[in-house]
Structure 1
């Protein structure tokens, strides 16, 4: 497919039977994904891209203005990982496998005594992800309990999942789900996501009444949204 987008775009077109309309996703690394219904022609996609070209360029420029991205983690001793917005230095102990532990300065990961070097990176990553998921579950459940009482809104269930493009979801049936990477962000930002999803239990949209409710419990949601976007863009939450 010949694109009308500038040459520095990395354009990917994905056709899917689940979509009814064309949609564009712009990512911080310069990738632009176009989600296209099966019945929409390439010509119509080209026309859509022409209409959205300025928006795509503005979005990419906005990402560029946020600064450089963090390199992918190498999982080596001394490397920094975030826990509740604070850096913890990775330390490794080859004394037997158990759950990672955190203190004021370090994040300790425990490996088998006979750990093979070529397997360590994947083992460390897996151990950290499981640990972050457990931390996120504990933190999110505690903050949901706190704000549920204040807001008078109680979800039917709380789940922790892995998302690439969202921090949480709220179904019309009352189930709320949170991204496990929330264990990496400052508690104030985690609180914003919790408040946001609990507010959806009452308002299933982003209308004026929804934001009025959010602002009662979090007066500056826009600042929180920008802070989360910045952390995500810089790759601070990569694992």
Structure 2
């Protein structure tokens, strides 16, 4: 059963209102036991997952049944913040305007609260993204070092990803992985996520001993988790 990767369909959230366009991403999963819906803030769409041998019409039926919920959640998404001249991008939780200066050198760099991007306009978005990933790696590495020294551990490596549901992870081989989008959050939020994953190098679990290590390193844990709960989805809309 062939499915389109994505499409826009018309959904009616209320019988008395006209239909509205709804972006849909289709997924098929051999592990799925039923049709499911979720909102993907990065795509700005509803993701419909179908088990094998279940047709698109079943997904459309579920969408229609839950049209009110779907359209409400999509409408509540933070606005997209593209990487383009004149737009702003948060770095360390502080908005920086993207300023395109094609004649200058240096790809992309910070200058007095502005993110300067050089070269051809066609490369602005890519250069902003490259800068943010490099800055994320620098800040995460700087945050990890004192936590690792205090806990007497050494990460095997630090990697960056663009995950949608996890801000960080610790693999059995002691590799730490983080979402590059942490660079968009306030530094103290990034610091908590880094300390959390570094603590897993001592305790690969969420035991009382693990949380004691985390609390000792980041007394701002509760504030950081609350900030991510409130604002984390908006970071997925940046870029």
Q: TM-score, normalised by structure 1?
A: 0.70
Aligned partner of 1:107 in structure 2 is: 115
Task: Answer with 101-110 or 202-211: which moved more.
Answer: 202-211
5+ long unaligned stretches in structure 2: 1-10, 14-21
Could you tell me how far apart the structure 2 residues matched to 1:209 and 1:27 are?
A: 34
The alpha carbon displacement at 1:234 in A equals 2.9
In structure 1, the residue corresponding to 2:101 is in which secondary structure? Answer: strand
Answer yes or no: is the 8 Å Cα contact 1:137–1:180 preserved in 2: yes
Taking a change above 3 Å as real, the CA distance of residues 129 and 33 of structure 1, as seen in their structure-2 partners, is same
5+ long unaligned stretches in structure 1: 1-5
RMSD: 3.5
Could you tell me how far apart the structure 1 residues matched to 2:160 and 2:28 are?
A: 29
Alignment of structure 1 residues 22-41 onto 2, 5 Å: 25-28=38-41, 32-33=46-47, 35=49, 38=52
Q: TM-score, normalised by structure 2?
A: 0.70
In structure 2, the residue corresponding to 1:234 is in which secondary structure? Answer: helix
Aligned partner of 2:101 in structure 1 is: 93
Taking a change above 3 Å as real, the CA distance of residues 30 and 100 of structure 1, as seen in their structure-2 partners, is closer
In structure 2, the residue corresponding to 1:130 is in which secondary structure? Answer: helix
Could you tell me how far apart the structure 1 residues matched to 2:97 and 2:138 are?
A: 22
Answer yes or no: is the 8 Å Cα contact 2:141–2:158 preserved in 1: yes
Could you tell me how far apart the structure 1 residues matched to 2:212 and 2:50 are?
A: 35
Aligned partner of 2:28 in structure 1 is: 15
Per-residue deviation, residues 45-86 of structure 1 (Å, max 9, x unmatched): 99xx9xxx9xxx6x998x799x66133326123x21111111
